[in-house]
Structure 1
């Protein structure tokens, strides 16, 4: 049996087969044949002869016979019965004499493979099958086309809920759901935005390599008083490491060598002018010109030498602040390692001063934080816990929010937020730089349902409604 969908017919069922493979050659050829026959509106009785058939049907039947090896094939367009036929169930539908004005809704295909019964024998049987098939298919299509049919089916199956025995339970459940919905809409709750971050000293600096080179020396020897466990204390301006740049050393030696040679040449010219023995006016003038040229050359070489010397000084990396080195095992990490200009060598933090929390707020939540800062106050309250101490909550206030977002390590857009710790909190925490923090920013009061499901609603707005 084939059902008409638009201008084409699709094979929906084959007797004796539980499932259909729509991409198979036989099913595809049968669908094409049904489409061609339905387009004409006339029944097809094929018993081996194709001379009297239209060309498009002849090609379709030949292709199908090659695939199926059927001896005879009958294709009858199924037309929607009249309402008068529905009022008179005993009236039979004749596929050959049915009025052509009725809508074609599909086709029924009868084929004979092993036997070859004549049309006079098989026709009465086809009439009976045609009648039931046309009525059943028309009713199925009408039933399927009803608006929101799956909803009405679900409601129809749920009518047992309002029967006398189930009605009290139904009312109780409905009342409970109503109370829950009212609670979600009316009960106010703290609206908080969650974010991850790090606890670090306010005074914290990264140390960069200003020149490319190989690390050849790391830190001077520390006395026991200057060490605190594995932490190394350094003072501002103290040498941290020394780099070696072979190209820079060669450049320095070339410039210095040229400078020395030029200086010696200048000294000789000056000495000749001072002695002034046997010099003609022409020779004296030539020596004075040479002296001027050499002095300008020396002046240029001195500037080059100063620039190279400045680059050499930058090979010695010093501490920008007082503090401790927070980077782990720097000697093993950096010794004899080649680095490029701008590479981070280590971090130094002054742990004796104030600490702060730096949050990475997801961009889709940062807008609510900005709105709350405008509506309530800039210094919103923040509660946070430490990864190593999840049972204790600490508090602080927002002191700054970044003007732009940036890409985090997980490739998501985040907005940086700085949080100052409340007085006394810093003394309670056993602090270490870069401690992992989970925080919640208080953004005012909102209905409980919005606090719980606002991200689901925003997902629908972004992916469904937009």
Structure 2
């Protein structure tokens, strides 16, 4: 039998054989023993690709040891003619009432499958010869098929009805053959095989996650919706029940506490369930429970449900045996999937397997040694990442000299202006009123001076010395008052002239939508009004570097300043956010002495870099975002690649241990 013909659970012939066996079992009362055995032999031979199949049964004569071949004339045991050996195998099969898969007495490379069954209330034995040794997966499929075959033809016979404990042990032994290391495969097999072996309508597996139980598999479904109401209510019910740690049966005559009765009624409203058992799965050590059940918390639960019958067909012993076997399978799969770095160990194992050849082993060793040497000794440029903006070196921000209201905006975004050009006009009503008031006071003072001077001249003609002295003093006081008023007027005029905002440099207005932002709006003293930049001149980068990289930049700068042969400054490579495909170059021109917090309260170092690339004047715009790297000298390749890990180890792990100088 070729590998492609191996009997597997998903094989089409397997499903066809199950249907044929069910049909034969239903026709048992209306079919003769000879026809029944003949059809059974052909069905088994076709479904398993057996070389020969024989069905043996005791005769109805008084001699209890006499046997006859009911079907399967091509049986190899018949052709071999070894009557004693043949009768020993058949008699042992009838007396033990146990399925066995053993080496064939005819040849070492063949297998003999012995299946005791009952036909018309008479015991019989099916002998199937398989042409070669079987793989473990093939043995599992054959034994499962044998179990189903015996159950189909022994349901109505008391001669094959073993005790519940013995039958549960058989089911547990069968399920242990399906212990898979893949978690998804194991959960799928557990719920689906449990439904078939327990003859129920649905089996659901729930595993503990934190303090709650979550559905991991539902029989008959490859995938399920975890947010469905029926799933959520079953999870809540199982979580409440598993707090007890005991098997829970529905229906029950006991009065249930509200914390269980309420989720139970809610679940029954969503599900057609008539009978249900929730069985806890405990940690297993081989075939034994590691601790006493009374002291162990369940880590999973199996929910067994029936939709039609008022009671489950399977007995408590059957259910308990199956659950213990399922716990072993699930525990092994869970331990396997939680192996630390399992894909890495698996890959290393494959490499070790491939390295059995001397050439491969030497090649792998050479690659590892060269890689370690390169990481340790090969120098590479250590670069620090930075972000920032590009802007002209010469730009000025114009601030409001005093408060007021914008009366006229003379420029707009992109206008070219010269030094001294009017940008906008402000008005200050309070200042205008003050100037008017001072002008009035000056006019009054002039009138008073003229009046006093006229009176004094008239008195001089009549020679009134005392009165002339008083008038001269009054005239001097008024003149001093006039000088003070004129000084105040000059100061106010200066403030009035400042309301005319002018450009401090030659350049371009880079403030967006000046008219909308400043037109007819109140302005506070010191408020930012307009930015003028000399876009035709040299440009620069204003970069922000994380404070953790400040030491590397400062050390590189000091090394370069100390090296007399060093040319220029630290190199900077950057790309524009508007054109990330082109890399531009520059040099660090200045580094701030202190770090400053940013918007997220992370401290950053301010770095300025000079650039001399004429193409940037057309490709970039003012304050365009840039991403840059600053070359900080040479370092081993391993540190350049993994410096984040090295710095983390030093700052978080090594620093955790106290160090004191002796």
Residues 49-64 of structure 1 mapped to structure 2, 5 A cutoff: 49-51=253-255, 57-64=260-267
Partner of 1:270 in structure 2? Answer: 453
2:232 aligned with 1:31? no
Find the aligned partners of 1:275 and 1:36 in 2 and give their Cα distance.
Answer: 119
Residues 75-224 of structure 1 mapped to structure 2, 5 A cutoff: 75-80=278-283, 83=286, 85=288, 100-101=293-294, 103-105=296-298, 106-117=300-311, 122-124=313-315, 126-141=316-331, 143-145=333-335, 149-152=339-342, 154-156=344-346, 159-163=349-353, 167=357, 168-169=359-360, 172-173=363-364, 175-193=366-384, 210=401, 214=407
Q: Secondary structure at the match of 1:34?
A: helix
Counterpart contact for 1:266–1:295, Cα < 8 Å: yes
Partner of 2:156 in structure 1? Answer: none
Partner of 2:443 in structure 1? Answer: 260
Q: How many residues align?
A: 421
Q: Secondary structure at the match of 2:570?
A: strand
Give the C-alpha shift of residue 445 in structure 1: 1.8
Cα distance change of structure 1 residues 8 and 241 upon mapping to structure 2, 3 Å threshold:
closer
Find the aligned partners of 1:259 and 1:141 in 2 and give their Cα distance.
Answer: 104
Counterpart contact for 1:43–1:74, Cα < 8 Å: yes
Counterpart contact for 1:80–1:102, Cα < 8 Å: no
Counterpart contact for 2:354–2:360, Cα < 8 Å: no
Q: Secondary structure at the match of 1:115?
A: coil
Of the candidates 466, 480, 490, which is equivalent to residue 306 of structure 1? 490
Counterpart contact for 2:230–2:271, Cα < 8 Å: yes
2:553 aligned with 1:363? no
Partner of 1:225 in structure 2? Answer: none
2:608 aligned with 1:451? no
TM-score by length of 2: 0.49
> What are the Cα deviations for residues 123-180 of structure 1, in whole angstroms up to 9, with x where unaligned?
43x5334313322223423552479515346524653333358854565356335423
Give the C-alpha shift of residue 410 in structure 1: 13
> What are the Cα deviations for residues 41-95 of structure 1, in whole angstroms up to 9, with x where unaligned?
54444346445x5665555544443443533333333445565659xxxxxxxxx
TM-score by length of 1: 0.65
Partner of 2:192 in structure 1? Answer: none
Find the aligned partners of 1:61 and 1:438 in 2 and give their Cα distance.
Answer: 60
Of the candidates 271, 290, 314, which is equivalent to residue 68 of structure 1? 271
| Greater RCO (Cα-Cα under 8 Å, separation 6 or more) | 1
> What are the Cα deviations for residues 260-280 of structure 1, in whole angstroms up to 9, with x where unaligned?
222212321232233228999
For structure 1, the 5+ residue unaligned runs are: 87-97, 219-229
2:227 aligned with 1:16? no
Partner of 2:532 in structure 1? Answer: 346
Cα distance change of structure 1 residues 160 and 381 upon mapping to structure 2, 3 Å threshold:
same
Cα distance change of structure 1 residues 419 and 337 upon mapping to structure 2, 3 Å threshold:
same
Of the candidates 589, 593, 613, which is equivalent to residue 403 of structure 1? 593
Counterpart contact for 1:78–1:130, Cα < 8 Å: no
Give the C-alpha shift of residue 305 in structure 1: 0.6
Counterpart contact for 2:572–2:629, Cα < 8 Å: yes
Counterpart contact for 1:200–1:434, Cα < 8 Å: no
Give the C-alpha shift of residue 114 in structure 1: 1.8
Counterpart contact for 2:575–2:627, Cα < 8 Å: yes
Pick the structure with greater CA Rg. Answer: 2
Partner of 2:570 in structure 1? Answer: 382
Find the aligned partners of 1:233 and 1:387 in 2 and give their Cα distance.
Answer: 32
> What are the Cα deviations for residues 323-373 of structure 1, in whole angstroms up to 9, with x where unaligned?
x7222699x979x9779565346346996xxx6855424235443211223
Q: Secondary structure at the match of 1:443?
A: strand
Counterpart contact for 1:387–1:435, Cα < 8 Å: no
Counterpart contact for 1:185–1:448, Cα < 8 Å: yes
Find the aligned partners of 2:276 and 2:635 in 1 and give their Cα distance.
Answer: 71
Give the C-alpha shift of residue 37 in structure 1: 4.0
Cα distance change of structure 1 residues 264 and 347 upon mapping to structure 2, 3 Å threshold:
farther
Find the aligned partners of 1:393 and 1:57 in 2 and give their Cα distance.
Answer: 70
Counterpart contact for 2:542–2:606, Cα < 8 Å: yes
Find the aligned partners of 1:59 and 1:246 in 2 and give their Cα distance.
Answer: 76
Taking only aligned residues, the RMSD between alpha carbons, in angstroms, comes to 5.5
Cα distance change of structure 1 residues 157 and 405 upon mapping to structure 2, 3 Å threshold:
closer
> What are the Cα deviations for residues 405-424 of structure 1, in whole angstroms up to 9, with x where unaligned?
56899999764445679xxx
